[in-house]
A = this chain, B = another copy of it.
Amino acid sequence: MRRAVVLLSGGLDSATTLAEAVSKGFEAHALTVRYGQRHDIEIECAKAVARAVGAASHRIAAVDLSFAGGSALTDPSLPVPKSRPDDAIGAGIPPTYVPARNTVLLSLALAWAEVLEARDLFIGANVVDYGGYPDCRPAFLRSFERLAGLATRAGVEGAAFTVHAPLLLMTKADIVRRALDLGVDTSLTWSCYDPAPGPAPCGLCDACLLRARGFREAGVPDAFSLARR
């Protein structure tokens, strides 16, 4: 059984990505990375998703990206935008972009893959809703595969790494449908960007608005994470 490391934030996209890895027959090892101001509720959601979807193991890695600043997700002095109009979401690079985030996340996944002797990495990157993010583009993911081959013992010995991004070209509605097809309990997932949410997601940040649009277009109701807690 081939091993894979799957980046799992606890959100809808990464939960669906984990389910894809499991459904493809991988022994899927889930990695949740805490960076900057992300909150405990996301970690709890990630743990619940890892268990429910059937990850072979689940580890939490901590990296403090607040040292670099420059993002509303890691710098408490920068506000997370709320209630942006539909056409603003996905256009350009928003303040919630975290510099070099996917490079850092994939590097940590690669470190664990080297120890696990895994050659496959999964990430929930998406270019439909995050087209302005340079590190969600296919060329970036292919470049990371080449880097992984040069960065590791396994690569030196001839192994090739694959970065799987099964949601790359899907709309949020497609992702919702795929999640349901794969049996993901979407009520366990948490998408909200708000640094200090109440008991339910804020409903107004880009991530909440994108998620709501996805469920609406897929024609299914969204059970907020906390409904079941």
Contact = CB atoms under 8 A, between A and B. Distances in A.
Copies of this chain assembled into the complex: 2
A103 to B, nearest CB: 4
A122 to B, nearest CB: 16
A68 interface: yes
Contact of A147 (B31, B67, B68, B147): B147
Nearest to A150: B140
Contacts of A143: 143, 146-147, 150-151
Interface string A138-181: 01100110111011110110000000000000000000000000
Interface stretch (A46-54, A107-115, A196-204, A217-225): A107-115
Q: Is the interface of A mostly helix, strand, loop or mixed?
A: helix
B107 A100 contact: yes
A153 B4 CA distance: 29
Interface stretch (A17-25, A57-65, A83-91, A185-193): A57-65
A18 to B, nearest CB: 17
A14 interface: no
A62 B64 contact: yes
Interface of A: 31, 59-65, 67-70, 93, 97-104, 107-108, 110-112, 114-115, 134-135, 137, 139-140, 143-144, 146-148, 150-153, 155-156
